[in-house]
Every structure is written in structure tokens, then in C-alpha cells.
A and B are shown apart, each in its own frame.
Chain A
Amino acid sequence: LAKTTQPISMDSYEGQEVNITCSHNNIATNDYITWYQQFPSQGPRFIIQGYKTKVTNEVASLFIPADRKSSTLSLPRVSLSDTAVYYCLVRKRGSTLGRLYFGRGTQLTVWP
């Protein structure tokens, strides 16, 4: 199973763009890359998922290079409410999978 590595913490200011990079050197051909956000005492919330190149939704963008050994979650113009823990996960597609492997995540703190 591909293990992920991401920074323990990051700081930013309101209005800035934040990029959180995740390493997954052992990613397999049939693995997706998924990011979740979690606020204190709440369940994680799905942000974005991708397989290769770039994926964008109303919340974030996900950049995945050709070798797929890393990925970068990009949050445009963060606000105080984006302060949360962000988890990078690698999950297999096309198989029975209700099981998500969460690492330690990245604590993002946004300052005024």
C-alpha cells in the first residue's frame, strides 16, 4: 500500500495561495490520489481527487506530475476558515475499498 508523506504543519496569511505537497513514491498504476480536510471535532471532508495531470473544482486544484510520485493540493486565496488538517491519501480504484489510510496530515494555520 502506497504510504504518503506530507509536511506536519504550514502557515499562511489570508488571501495567499497555499500549496501542500504530498509524496507517494510507491503509488501503483491503479491508485487514485485523494485529499480530505478536517476541522476539530468533525469528520474529514472530501476536497478533491485525481489520477493524473490536473484536476480543479470550486474549492481547490490538484496537480499530479507524470510520474505520479507526488501531488500538490493548491488552495487559492485562503481565508481564516481554511485553518484545518489536510490529509493526502492514496486509494485503489476498481476494488472493494471502504478502507482509507490516513497519515498524520498537514495542519494548515491561516493568520489574519
Chain B
Amino acid sequence: KAGVTQTPRYLIKTRGQQVTLSCSPISGHRSVSWYQQTPGQGLQFLFEYFSETQRNKGNFPGRFSGRQFSNSRSEMNVSTLELGDSALYLCASSLVTSGGNEQFFGPGTRLTVL
């Protein structure tokens, strides 16, 4: 069974631009969560989607948004990029949103903002 895939793997943008990252969950998984990882802040939760609905949201500004499609694939968008948005963005999928279910992470998208 294929794992979680994320595209692109690497991205370089400049301040003020916007970016869209894509995540394809494991087949059959309906829950997709997004995380931002930086050396200073560690792994921080962005948001979670289940059945095309946002179920959970972390403490990030409105510039960070996401959506999920009917096939469970998800995208996240960051508008008006800032230097501090440079990070590894990770996507994770799981079967359901109940506690106790394992989350499977993708390899991440490395975003660099210049």
C-alpha cells in the first residue's frame, strides 16, 4: 500500500508570494492533518480535515488555509509569505479521527521563503 505522498518536495518562494502544497493520504484514509516544523518551534499542528470538513485548527494566522477534496486529497495554502514561514510542512493521514488511531506522516515539503 502506498504511503502518504506530498508534492512538491522542495519549494523556494519570495516574500509576499503565495504557495499551495498538496497531500495524498493513504488509500482509504479520510483524515488528513497538517503540521509545520521549524528548528525553533518544533512540530506544530496547523489543521485537520475529515470528510472535506475542517475538524480542528491550530494557532496559526488566517494566511494559512486548507481544504480537502472528495477523494480525501488535501491542499494547504499560505498567502503573503513571510520569511518565518520557511519550514518543513508535514501531512499525516489516519483512518478515522478517533483517538488511538495511528497517524502516518508523509515526507514533507521543504518551503524556503527568501
Q: Are B97 and A42 interface neighbours, CB within 8 A?
A: no
Q: Are B105 and A97 interface neighbours, CB within 8 A?
A: no
Interface residue? B70 (CB, 8 A): no
From residue 4 to 43 of chain B, which have CB atoms closer than 8 A to chain A? 4, 31-33, 35, 42-43
- Chief secondary structure at chain B's binding surface: strand
Interface residue? B75 (CB, 8 A): no
Closest to A97 in B: B99
Q: Are B56 and A99 interface neighbours, CB within 8 A?
A: yes
Q: Are A101 and B45 interface neighbours, CB within 8 A?
A: yes
B-chain residues with CB within 8 Å of residue A104 when the two chains form the complex? 42
B-chain residues with CB within 8 Å of residue A70 when the two chains form the complex? none
How many residues on chain A are close to B (CB under 8 Å)?
25
Interface residue? A98 (CB, 8 A): yes
Give complex CA distance A97, B56 in Å.
8
User: Interface range on chain B: under 10, 10 to 19, 20 to 34, or 35 or more?
Assistant: 20 to 34
B-chain residues with CB within 8 Å of residue A102 when the two chains form the complex? 35, 42-44
A-chain residues with CB within 8 Å of residue B98 when the two chains form the complex? 93-97
Q: Are B33 and A42 interface neighbours, CB within 8 A?
A: no
B29 CB → nearest A CB, Å:
11
Q: Are A43 and B45 interface neighbours, CB within 8 A?
A: no
Give complex CA distance A105, B39 in Å.
12
Give complex CA distance A92, B99 in Å.
5
Q: Are B4 and A96 interface neighbours, CB within 8 A?
A: no
Q: Are A99 and B58 interface neighbours, CB within 8 A?
A: yes
A60 CB → nearest B CB, Å:
14
Q: Mark B70-111, 1 if CB is under 8 A from A, else 0.
A: 000000000000000000101110100111101111111010
- Using CB atoms and an 8 Å cutoff, list the residues of chain B in contact with chain A: 4, 31-33, 35, 42-45, 48-50, 55-56, 58, 88, 90-92, 94, 97-100, 102-108, 110
- Using CB atoms and an 8 Å cutoff, list the residues of chain A in contact with chain B: 30, 32, 41-46, 49, 87, 91-105
Extra pairs beyond A41-B108, A100-B35 (18, CB < 8 Å)? A30-B99, A32-B99, A41-B110, A43-B92, A43-B108, A44-B43, A45-B105, A46-B104, A92-B99, A94-B99, A94-B100, A97-B97, A98-B31, A98-B33, A98-B49, A98-B56, A100-B92, A104-B42
